[in-house]
Amino acid sequence: MKLRLQSQNINDYLGEIPPAIVYNTPLIQKTIKEIESKASSPKERAKIAFEIARDQVHHSFDTNGDLITISGDQALEKKEGICFAKAHLLATLLRGMGIPTGFCYQRVLRKKTVDSGYALHGLNAVYLKETGWFRVDPRGNKPGIDSEFSPEVEKLAYPIRPELGEVDYPDVYTKPLNPVIKSMQESKDAHELFYKRPEEIPEDLRV
């Protein structure tokens, strides 16, 4: 897929965006230092950060958890969050290491059938000098889902099925979508958030 950037200024993909992306916190800085001690290249560091977001934070819908985390710092501290929070964590870690990172979305079936309706799914796009922009999905693996850090060939969590009304948006946003953050802030728990997530990206917010 040819990705469509919201901004051509690479610096727009590096900044903090409270409340979701704040990297000058003790926990995030400690984690960044640990990553940097293990790897020297941006690609190696990005892979480690991806695996932290994918594997160390449990997906609330998989665990039937109640907790809603929004920021990357919260998700890492609580070890729990849905796809949006995990994407926020990955962006927080990467931007904190000077690696440009954006936000991407897909429209997927909520419960595997058209009758169940649709919901947005959040993932990331990352920029490395040697590869350019590519997408990764830190959603978290389980039987039937195998997402990997793969700059050359996308290995995302969900195969998108247009014939079922699913949509793979090519847009790479500089910040999380406001409707996504609003749904997270206004839901009382993760069970309510499951149904309150936006169903699609409104036309006026597409790049």
**171-185 pLDDT, tens per residue?**
999 999 999 999 999
Tell whether pTM > 0.95. yes
pLDDT of residue 112: 87
CA pair distance 118, 140, nearest whole angstrom: 20
Q: Could you tell me which residues are beta bridge partners of residue 96?
A: none
Is 161 a residue whose pLDDT tops 90?
A: yes
90: nearest Cα among 108, 71, 105, 107? 71
Helix extents (H) in the chain: 26-38, 42-55, 60-63, 72-78, 83-96, 178-186, 190-196
Q: What is the C-alpha separation between 82 and 139, in angstroms, rounded?
A: 7
Tokens encoding 87 = 């994407």
Return the closest-CA partner of residue 124 out of 97, 167, 159, 89.
89
Mean pLDDT of 30-51: 98
- The 10s digit of each residue's pLDDT in 109-132 is 999 899 999 999 999 999 999 999
5 pLDDT more than 90: yes
Domains, the chain, in order of start with CATH, read: 4-205 (3.10.620)
Beta strand 171-172 with 4-5: parallel, antiparallel or unpaired?
parallel
Confidence of residue 204 (pLDDT cuts 50, 70, 90): very high
pLDDT in tens, 61-87: 999 999 999 999 999 999 999 999 999
